[in-house]
Structure 1
Amino acid sequence: MGILDEVLVSEEFSWGIRVWHSRIFQWIDGWASNYWGTEEQKAEYLGDW
């Protein structure tokens, strides 16, 4: 029982981290597009980077 509980908790934990990461990346992406402007302007500024 204890091992199973740990597995379930760790799966929930890793799923929570994935959700949190995707939210952070969405926020960064939204901030970046607001900051840089359009994708074309961002591509021009950043080049191939």
Structure 2
Amino acid sequence: MRHVLAALAVISTLVAAMPAAQAHGGGCRKSSPPGECCHMNRKTGQVHCHR
């Protein structure tokens, strides 16, 4: 029973994180610093990065 509850907790955490992961359709810029993923915000024309 503990394994089922642990699996459900992991699955619910992954599902909750999906919208944040899907916020950007493109990949990382090649010029992104090591360990970060930078994207261009087309509306503002500014680059922002994620760790």
TM-score (ref. length: structure 1)? 0.46
Larger radius of gyration: 1
Compare relative contact order (CA 8 Å, sep 6+) and give the higher one, 1 or 2.
2
As a proportion of its length, which structure holds more strand?
2
TM-score (ref. length: structure 2)? 0.45
